[in-house]
């Protein structure tokens, strides 16, 4: 849905990259989103809560409530080649200190193709230029090398390691806290533009 659509109850930002589009999550995305969010093999990479089976109607009710925006989060579908391939979000926005958490989840066949990097670059630009945020942060399992490399490409730096902080598939694992400041993002954006 384009922001100019008069039938939209609120602004639905659409952000365009070279290979990725960030747009509102629609009911047409629910089958793919349900598959992504209920995937037990990647549960602990995406959640701080123990895995549990989702009954589809309960999941839809929960998802519709999340998408209402009442929790202050800004959620996007990640689309590539005209198909839903994942989601990303800004959450935990602090209106005084101007920071927020970011998150991203991609379907298995969308990983390793640079789509997550481009989606996070679009999300960072949106956060810093449209929401006037000063800082973005995220948490990631230390062993998730692909995600850590993606975040570094966007400009996130490791700010801390929490030893044995996450319970994953029967054992404790370290996680990393990574952050990106607006000034760092602006410097990286300026350096990536042709002169």
Task: Please indicate, yes or no, if residue 146 is contained in any of the structural domains.
Answer: no
In the three-class reduction of DSSP (H, G, I as helix; E, B as strand; rest coil), residue 89 is classed as: strand
Strand 99-106 to 135-141 pairing: parallel
Task: Please indicate, yes or no, if residue 106 is contained in any of the structural domains.
Answer: yes
pLDDT in tens, the chain (195 residues): 334 444 434 446 699 999 999 999 999 999 999 888 888 777 777 777 777 788 888 888 888 888 887 788 999 999 999 999 999 999 999 999 999 999 999 999 999 999 999 999 999 999 999 999 999 999 999 999 999 999 999 999 999 999 999 888 889 999 999 999 999 999 988 766 554
Helix or strand run (H / E) with residue 182 = helix 182-192
CATH value at residue 33: 3.40.630.30
CA distance 42 to 47: 9
Task: Please indicate, yes or no, if residue 124 is contained in any of the structural domains.
Answer: yes
Task: Please indicate, yes or no, if residue 72 is contained in any of the structural domains.
Answer: yes
Task: Please indicate, yes or no, if residue 1 is contained in any of the structural domains.
Answer: no
Task: Please indicate, yes or no, if residue 67 is contained in any of the structural domains.
Answer: yes
User: Domain range for residue 47?
Assistant: 15-133
pTM, whole model, 2 decimals? 0.86
Contact 120, 88 (CB under 8 A): yes
Task: Please indicate, yes or no, if residue 7 is contained in any of the structural domains.
Answer: no
Q: Which whole-number Å values give the CA distances from 152 to 3, 23, 57, 126, 149, in the listed order?
A: 31, 24, 37, 18, 5
Task: Please indicate, yes or no, if residue 167 is contained in any of the structural domains.
Answer: no
pLDDT of residue 3: 41
Q: How many domains does the chain have?
A: 1
Length of the chain: 195
Residue holding tokens 């998730």?
A: 144
């Amino acid at each position: 849905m384009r922001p100019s659509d008069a039938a939209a109850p609120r602004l639905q930002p659409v952000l365009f990259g070279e290979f990725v589009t960030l747009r509102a999550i629609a009911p047409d995305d629910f089958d793919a989103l349900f598959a992504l969010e209920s995937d037990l093999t990647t549960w602990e990479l995406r959640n701080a809560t123990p895995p549990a089976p989702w009954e589809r109607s309960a999941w839809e009710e929960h998802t519709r409530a999340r998408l209402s925006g009442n929790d202050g989060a800004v959620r996007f579908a990640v689309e590539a080649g005209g198909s839903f391939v994942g989601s990303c979000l800004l959450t935990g926005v602090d209106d005084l200190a101007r920071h927020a958490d970011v998150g991203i989840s991609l379907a298995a066949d969308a990983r390793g193709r640079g789509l997550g990097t481009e989606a996070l670059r679009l999300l960072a630009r949106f956060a810093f230029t449209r929401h006037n945020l000063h800082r973005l942060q995220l948490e990631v399992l230390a062993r998730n090398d692909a995600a850590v490399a993606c975040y570094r490409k966007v400009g996130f730096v490791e700010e801390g390691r929490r030893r044995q902080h996450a319970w994953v598939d029967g054992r404790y694992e370290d996680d990393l806290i990574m952050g990106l400041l607006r000034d760092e993002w602006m410097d990286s954006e300026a350096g990536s533009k042709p002169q």
